[in-house]
Amino acid sequence: MSIRLAVLKAVAAGLLAAVIAVAPARAADPIFPLNSRVGMIPPPGFVPSTKFPGFENPTANATIVIVDLPPEAYADIEKTFTDEALKSRGVTVESRDTIEFKDGRGFIITGEQVVGAAKRRDIVMAATLSGFATLVSVQIAEESRAAVPDEVVREAFKTIVARAAVPDEEKLSALPYKLGNLAGFRVVRGSPDGNVLLTEGPDDTVAAVAQPFVLIGLAPSEIPKPEERDAFARKIFLGVPGLKDIKILRAEPQRINGQSGYEILAEAKEQRSNTEVTTVQWLRFGQNGYLQIFAIARREAWNDLFPRLRALRDSIELR
């Protein structure tokens, strides 16, 4: 697995737990979940969720989950969302239709899923929009199908729109900590569970470390004793996918913003492109977990980059 895909998957996983915040809107305006480029006018009875990116109708026991994905994900979804694959997950497909948008295209799958003793209606739409992909999943309890008919859901799908970008303030507001100094980096994505991806340069997906990137995350964990922290930090660092020929240059405890921490600085090669890179991992230990900062860049850019990375690291304050 490449570093780029690993980061995207990690961030995508973080986003599934996102808290939704919606700006004031008129009744006919599309509503955008926090941090999402995809918005829609939800069916009657649905309100923005505070538990996941999308909408929910508690009375009908129905949800709409919206996930933004990189553009290449659409082709993967087309290949893997076959009737046979869905059946293996307990979904019986009843219909499969195409849908067209001004700036993209997609398909809608309608079916039923049995989870234990419960049956529910599943309506899934996948689309490519303005250079990225989205997956919208609607789940309706069987007893509420009359309250949320298929036709109403399909009409709501037609209102889906994409915005050019998510404002940086919105990306940062999702985080459980503050980034006081971005140090010239740009936020790609952020989520309430603490995952944030930053880069420098025009692209949101970083192949062959063409741009430096920084991944910050919070992890609940039992805090290791001081004598165990070297092994603890190395295990986390060596678990990062997409690196080979790793040479650790420095591994030592540090104080970071008044808290115990640990730094690992290393040289390596990006596995697929063989690009020579330098990377750093900082762990900052708290009472019930740790903050991880992982950064990587091409080796020739590292000396200019490293002071900025430290400035970014030292500006993080928990909310």
Q: What is the DSSP-derived secondary structure letter of residue 158?
A: T
Q: Are residues 131 and 214 in the same domain?
A: no
User: Residues 52, 37, 214, 75: what is their CA dihedral angle, to the nearest 10 degrees?
Assistant: 90
Task: Examine the domain organization and report whether 156 and 224 are in the same domain.
Answer: no
**DSSP states of 77-130 as a string?**
HHHH--HHHHHHTTEEEEEEEEEEETTEEEEEEEEEEEETTEEEEEEEEEEEET
Both 299 and 237 in a single domain? yes
Which of 115, 131, 162 is at the close of a domain? Answer: 162
What b/e string do you get for 97-119 counting C-beta neighbours within 10 Å, with b at 16 or more? Answer: eebebeebebbbbbbebeeeeee
Q: Which two tokens stand for residue 56?
A: 């929910």
158 and 186 assigned to the same domain: no
Q: What is the pLDDT of residue 319?
A: 79
Instruction: Return the amino acid letter for 17.
Output: A
pLDDT at 74: 94
Q: Does the residue 196 lie in any domain?
A: yes
- 191, 146: one domain: no
Kindly state whether residues 137 and 222 are assigned to the same domain. Answer: no
Which residue segment(s) compose the domain that 260 sits in? 174-318
**Residues 48 and 158 grouped into a single domain:** yes
Do 312 and 204 reside in the same domain of the chain?
yes
Backbone angles phi, psi at 300, to 5 degrees: -70, -20
Q: pTM here?
A: 0.65
CATH number at residue 129: 3.40.1000.10
Same domain, yes or no: 181 and 312: yes
Tokens of 242: 């997409």
Does residue 306 share a domain with residue 278? Answer: yes
Q: How many domains does the chain have?
A: 2
Tokens, residue 44: 């009657």
pLDDT for res 3: 42
Per-residue pLDDT of the chain (319 residues; tens, 9 = 90+): 444 434 334 444 443 333 333 334 444 789 998 778 899 999 999 998 877 889 999 999 999 999 888 888 999 999 999 999 999 988 999 999 999 998 899 999 999 998 888 899 999 999 999 889 999 999 999 999 999 999 999 999 999 999 988 888 888 887 889 999 999 999 988 877 788 999 999 887 767 899 999 999 999 999 999 999 999 999 999 999 999 999 999 999 999 999 999 999 999 999 989 999 999 999 999 989 999 999 999 999 999 999 999 999 999 998 7
